[in-house]
Structures are given as C-alpha cells and as structure tokens.
C-alpha cells in the first residue's frame, strides 16, 4: 500500500519498496523513512522473502531527506538536540537495516541519487544505476556535515582521497563514473535499467537465501575485524548454511549434473 510517499509491494518472494514522491524528486520525509524502516523490520523475519528491492517512480531515485518539509511542517522550532536524538532512529536506522538485514538488497537508481538517497544506494548490496544518473553528496554545499553513514560507507568503497573529493569538494558523479569508481555494482543505459535490474533480482530471488544472508553478514563484519574473527564468523555461517535444505539441494544438483533449484530454506 502507498502512504507517506512510499509504496510497499510484495509478491511473497520479492519485497519492493518504491519511493513515490516524484514531484519532490522522491525526497524522503520522516514519515516515509519510518514506513521503510517498518517494512524492512518486517522483512527481516519473513521466511518467505528472498530479496528486497529499492526503486522509485518518476525520473529520479531520491534527492535525499526532505529538509524543507521537515522544517516547515508546523512552524515550531525543535528543541535543542533534536537532530542528535532523532537521526539515529530515522535515517541512520534505515541505513543500518539495509546493511544488516539477512536478505540481499538491490537498489535501482536513476536521475538524482543525492544525500540520503545516495547512502541508500551505497548501503545496498547491489545497485544498478542508469548511466545518466547523478550521484551527489550535497551536505557541505548546504552548510552542514554529512550523515546517514556517508563518512563510513564512502572511504570503504572508494578510499579516503576520493571520499574527501565527494564529501568535502562536492564532486558529482554520473552513474557510469560511480560504477567505474566502485560505488555501485553496475551502470547501464536508462532504457536497459529495468531489464538489467530484473535479471539480477530474479537471480538473487532464486539463490540459497540463508547462505546469501550469512555471506552478507560476514562481509560486513569483516570490515571491522581481524582475520581470526572473520574466519570464526565464517565457521559459524558454514555451520548454519550446511543445515539448510538448500545445501542438500546444492549437493544433489552437483551429483546429478543439473542446476540447483533453491527454495530459500
């Protein structure tokens, strides 16, 4: 159902979260962010789901958080410390969920991919972008410092020097440049965006979901640990994935010389 500028759809296997405020370049309000968080929290415990997709209506993916609406909604000046209190429960919680949920997250990006919208694309496991899209971190140009994980995500994806270029100098990248820099999984012509994303989504929806989730978890934790801790996490993941029906199916398919038919269990 569509509400608060966000449309949540599911066919039982694939959860699609559509940003649906094209007149505002799909800028996210607090209510919209809260709705996406609720959808992801529900998805995290849904055993039928295989993949989560972030996409948008209109010409743009997301122009960031809608600061204009947020600061003029009732005209009241927020209490001191409002940003510090609320952001961890809103934009920061959203980015954290995308990186931690044990389902693959695919982002389909076009047009403006800015601010919080850019961080959603960077946090996703796979982002397919239109060549012509514009990735931009506009924080300093607006007079305030970055949020929503920008200072954590960017150095890990492109290195510190390029992160400074994006965050401090405000360099904008096309979708093609973003792919060349390693910010996103793939960039394609706009006309091919839907078909390319659909192929990837179907591939992930037919993957061994438990093993995918455990691999995602180990990759993200490995960024913060040493080799020994990383291998301990791998051993735990292997123990769990080896107990799944998909593991048995994978072995059977290998023995029989056929493609595996994973069911995500």
Across 71-75, 107-111, 171-175, least confident range: 71-75
Q: What's the rounded Cα separation, in Å, for the pair 218 and 230?
A: 7
Residue 124 has pLDDT above 90, yes or no: yes
How would residue 29 be classed by pLDDT, with cut points 50, 70 and 90? very high
Instruction: Indicate the length of the chain as a whole number.
Output: 265
CB atoms within 10 A of CB 76: 7
Residue 32 has pLDDT above 80, yes or no: yes
Q: What's the rounded Cα separation, in Å, for the pair 21 and 60?
A: 10
Burial of residue 181, with CB atoms counted within 10 A of its CB: 0-12 exposed, 13-18 middle, 19 or more buried: middle
Q: Quick check: 135 and 107 in contact, CB under 8 A?
A: no
CA angle 236, 242, 245 (to 5 degrees): 135
Closest CA to 60 of 135, 153, 157, 146: 135
2-205 shares its CATH topology with 209-256: no
Residue 144 has pLDDT above 60, yes or no: yes
Tokens 């093993």 correspond to what residue? 211
* Token duo for residue 148: 């929503």
- Pairing mode of beta strands 14-19, 6-10: antiparallel
Residue-wise pLDDT for 183-209, tens only, equals 999 999 999 999 999 999 999 999 999
Buried b / exposed e over 143-154, threshold 16 CB at 10 Å, is eeebbbbbebbb
CA angle 191, 192, 193 (to 5 degrees): 95
CATH number of 209-256: 1.10.12
Q: Quick check: 26 and 55 in contact, CB under 8 A?
A: no
pLDDT at 86: 80
Residue 65 has pLDDT above 80, yes or no: yes
Q: Which CATH superfamily is domain 2-205 in?
A: 2-enoyl-CoA Hydratase; Chain A, domain 1 (3.90.226.10)
pLDDT at 70: 57
Between 241 and 85, name the one with better pLDDT: 241
Residue 85 belongs to what H/E stretch?
helix 82-86
* Token duo for residue 145: 């410092």
DSSP 109: E
How would residue 75 be classed by pLDDT, with cut points 50, 70 and 90? low
- Pairing mode of beta strands 186-188, 126-130: parallel
Determine the 3-state secondary structure of 261 from DSSP: coil
* Token duo for residue 112: 């403006």
Residue-wise pLDDT for 80-104, tens only, equals 777 777 887 799 999 999 999 999 9
- Domains of the chain by residue range: 2-205, 209-256
Share of the chain above pLDDT 90, in %: 88
Average pLDDT over residues 58-84: 76
pLDDT at 101: 98
pLDDT at 2: 67
């Amino acid at each position: 159902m569509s509400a608060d500028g966000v449309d949540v759809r599911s066919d039982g296997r694939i959860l699609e979260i559509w940003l649906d405020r094209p007149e505002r370049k799909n800028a996210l309000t607090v209510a919209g962010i809260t709705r996406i968080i609720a959808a992801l929290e529900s998805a995290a415990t849904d055993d039928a789901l295989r993949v989560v997709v972030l996409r948008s209506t209109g010409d743009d993916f997301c122009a960031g958080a809608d600061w204009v609406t947020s600061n003029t909604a009732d005209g009241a000046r927020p209490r001191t410390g409002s940003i510090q209190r609320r952001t961890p429960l809103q934009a920061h919680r959203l980015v954290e969920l995308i990186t931690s949920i044990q389902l693959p997250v695919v982002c389909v990006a076009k047009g403006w991919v800015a601010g919080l919208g850019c961080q959603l694309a960077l946090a996703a496991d796979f982002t397919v972008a239109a060549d012509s899209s514009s990735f931009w971190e506009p924080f300093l140009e607006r007079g305030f410092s970055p949020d929503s994980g920008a200072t954590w995500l960017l150095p890990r994806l492109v290195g510190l020097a390029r992160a400074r270029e994006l965050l401090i100098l405000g360099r904008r990248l096309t979708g093609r440049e973003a792919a060349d820099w390693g910010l996103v999984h793939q960039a394609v012509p706009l006309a091919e965006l839907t078909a390319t994303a659909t192929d990837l989504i179907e591939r992930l929806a037919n993957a061994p979901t438990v093993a995918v989730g455990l691999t995602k978890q180990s990759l993200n934790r490995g960024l913060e640990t040493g080799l020994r801790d990383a291998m301990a996490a791998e051993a735990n993941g292997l123990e769990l994935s080896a107990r799944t029906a998909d593991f048995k199916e994978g072995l059977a398919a290998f023995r029989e010389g056929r493609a595996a038919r994973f069911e995500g269990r």
